């Protein structure tokens, strides 16, 4: 197997992997709110809108 062939296989596998990951991500994004400990991603916008230093963080670091 020469290097060009390896290159082609490498390209193919990695592309498939990333496409699967990306679709998995879409599924995750749109299903997560129904989960038990799921998050509402849209609430993350508040990180910009409520960003004064004494505003309450959307998910405080000290939570875990």
Partner 1 sequence: MFHWLEKHPFFFAVGVFLVISFAGLIEILPSFAQASRPVIGTAPYSTLELAGRHVYIKNSCNACHSQLVRPFKSETDRYGHYSLSGEYAYDRPFLWGSKRTGPDLMRVGNYRTTDWHENHMKDPASVVPGSIMPAYRWMFTKKADIDTAFAEQLTVANYFSVPYNQPVPMKDGSTAVVKLGNSVAEANTIALEEAKVIAADMKDQDVKDAVARGEIPEIVALIAYLNSLK
Partner 2 sequence: MENRPLEYDYTIAKMFMFTTIVLGIVGMLIGVILAFQLAFPGVNLILGEGLAEYTNFSRLRPLHTDAVIFGFTLSGVFATWYYVGQRVLKVSMAESKLLMVLGKAHFWLYLVVVASVVVSLLAGVTTSKEYAEFEWPIDIAVVVVWVIFGMSIFGLIGIRREKSLYISVWYYIATFLGIAMLYLFNNMEIPTMFATSAAGESGIGSWYHSVSMYSGTNDALVQWWYGHNAVAFGFTVPIVAMIYYFLPKESGQAIYSYKLSLLSFWGLMFVYLWAGGHHLLYSTVPDWMQTMGSIFSIILILPSWGSAINMLLTMKGEWQQVAASPLIKFMILASTFYMFSTLEGPIQAIKSVNAIAHFTDWIVGHVHDGVLGWVGFMIMASLYHMAPRVFKREIYSKSLMATQFWIQTLGVVLYFTSMWIAGITQGMMWRAHDEFGNLAYSFIDTVTVLHPYYAIRGVGGLLYLVGFLMFAYNIYKTMSAREVENHELQNASPMGA
Give 1-59 as a DSSP string. --HHHHHHHHHHHHHHHHHHHHHHHHHHHHHGGGSTT---GGGGGHHHHS-STTSPPSS
Is residue 32 a contact point for partner 1 (CB under 8 A)?
yes
Answer with the entry of partner 1, partner 2, none that 58 interacts with (C-beta below 5 to 8 A by kind).
partner 2
Is residue 39 a contact point for partner 1 (CB under 8 A)?
yes
Is residue 45 a contact point for partner 1 (CB under 8 A)?
no
Answer with the entry of partner 1, partner 2, none that 36 interacts with (C-beta below 5 to 8 A by kind).
none
């Amino acid at each position: 197997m020469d290097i060009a062939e390896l290159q082609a296989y490498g390209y193919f596998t990695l592309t498939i992997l990333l496409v699967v990951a990306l679709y998995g991500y879409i599924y995750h994004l749109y299903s997560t709110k129904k989960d038990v400990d799921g998050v509402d991603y849209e609430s993350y916008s508040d990180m910009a809108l409520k960003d004064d230093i004494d505003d309450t963080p959307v998910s405080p670091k000290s939570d875990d």
